Copies of this chain bind each other. A is one copy, B any other.
């Protein structure tokens, strides 16, 4: 069992140990019934005192993640959803195999092969609204023109034609760039991961918005980074707090989703964008600007990307085409300059030798000729759904439930009254075929959150309305029940 300890940290060692184990248990990487190492064994492994390990175990027991019995040791307690898989073979030895995966909330929360009727946890566009048939048909050209050109490994940095087309696309959005500064990745997730594996190591400080994209937390946590989450207000990441922290915790990297932020929908103001860039320049740190949503605006165009202002190569900009065009192709592009780009390309080579040529060539004609028109109609469709979702919530949600209407993106971040137990809501919703994202997974360390994220984009309009009504009814019932519970005299 590998636990990254930072002895200079202000966080006490026993809490660092407890937190890492809690992450693994909550991710299901340490399944129910797993015996934790003995106090003596773990303390010698980590070179800490047995008291420290005992305190960590006591902490885990107090939050019901483990059960300790005198003389028998500590075992992972029954989780809400068991991930344990029965195997005919004796694979018990595998449990002693040390791994380096402290957190896998993506795996835990998003790998639902089972489709539910009201899929509100998927921040993606309804398949029927995407140009999939066109894109697949475009591949025919490839087989008639020069099939042999497809029978090779692509370059590490990606197909040069696709990079040229993407550079034009981004230049129209304020990022003046060229093919040679672009790297094609297998989705934005891989872009974030490449940055982390190249530039982030144990103890490096990474700032992120609180809350933020679950997948990014998984990535930086697995590199052993010290993740510092900065609260947001209605103008985005709070620069006053960041400014207070930067001297005591100098950042290596700032990860941000400045435009129609996931999950909150908030957009960072231009003033704060410039402040963030200033800070990166004075601290020689990197900004990762993750931008899946800027083309999906429903009122006015959002401010220019931070990358548009970057003249010194501090910003790594990541543009996904999975949201607006083709999730099945897993194509994103990363814009960077200088040795930062070279090092990312080198990391890409180690990771997978380069993204598949087929998906890159398949997307090329669409992005070149038809993407802009497609985005116009997609914005209309999404705006229509957002309106439906907001109307439904206004009519049916209990008064204590609140949200801020987003001006772009695919998500509504809904605040529930503290009386609602989100795990319980999840179980009830699941029975009715409704899924949502519990807010807690958008925080490092699985902080409690009384928010849920609803994506209004994946289900058809009438389904969206019906599902949200059901969800509002469940919320009402849970709230009523809590009122009754409170009023019930203690017997």
Contact = CB atoms under 8 A, between A and B. Distances in A.
A17 interface: no
Nearest to A92: B338
Contacts of A127: 147-152
B89 A311 contact: yes
A136, A185, A190, A331: residue with the most chain B Cβ atoms closer than 10 Å: A136
B99 A338 contact: no
Contacts of A152: 124, 127, 327-328
Given A199-B99, A326-B151, A219 B137 contact: no
A355 interface: yes
B215 A342 contact: no
A289 interface: no
Given A186-B355, A186-B356, A351-B193, A29 B155 contact: no
Which of A89, A330, A340 has the most chain B CB atoms inside 10 A of its CB?
A: A330
Interface string A315-349: 00000001000111111000001111011011101
Nearest to A331: B356
Interface string A184-203: 01110110010001111100
Nearest to A128: B148
Task: Kindly report how many copies of this chain are found in the complex they form together.
Answer: 2
Nearest to A327: B153
A81 interface: no
A186 B329 CA distance: 12
Given A127-B148, A338-B87, A353-B106, A27 B132 contact: no
Interface stretch (A49-57, A138-146, A375-383): A138-146
A172 interface: no
A28 to B, nearest CB: 8
B356 A98 contact: no
A2 B104 contact: no
Interface in A122-171: 122, 124-125, 127-128, 130, 132-133, 136-137, 139-140, 142-143, 147-157, 160
A352 interface: yes
Contact of A107 (B124, B329, B349): B349
Contact of A132 (B151, B185, B215): B151
A143 to B, nearest CB: 4
A357 B124 CA distance: 15
A97 B286 contact: yes
Given A153-B322, A328-B357, A351-B351, A99 B198 contact: yes
Contact of A87 (B99, B187, B337): B337
Nearest to A190: B352
Nearest to A186: B352
A214 B340 CA distance: 23
Contact of A339 (B90, B91, B133, B345): B91
A358 B98 CA distance: 34
A94 B338 contact: yes
Q: Which interface residue of A83, A122, A193, A219 has the most chain B CB atoms within 10 A?
A: A193
A189 to B, nearest CB: 5
A381 to B, nearest CB: 14
A274 interface: no
Contacts of A98: 199, 201, 204, 252
A139 B337 CA distance: 36
A190 B356 CA distance: 12
22 contacts: A2-B201, A89-B337, A89-B338, A99-B198, A101-B347, A104-B346, A106-B156, A106-B349, A110-B156, A111-B155, A136-B150, A150-B328, A187-B353, A193-B351, A193-B352, A215-B349, A219-B350, A329-B356, A331-B356, A356-B356, A358-B359, A359-B359
Interface of A: 2, 27-29, 31, 83, 85, 87, 89-91, 93-101, 104, 106-107, 110-111, 113, 122, 124-125, 127-128, 130, 132-133, 136-137, 139-140, 142-143, 147-157, 160, 185-187, 189-190, 193, 197-201, 204, 215, 218-219, 222, 252, 284, 286, 311-313, 322, 326-331, 337-340, 342-343, 345-347, 349-359, 362
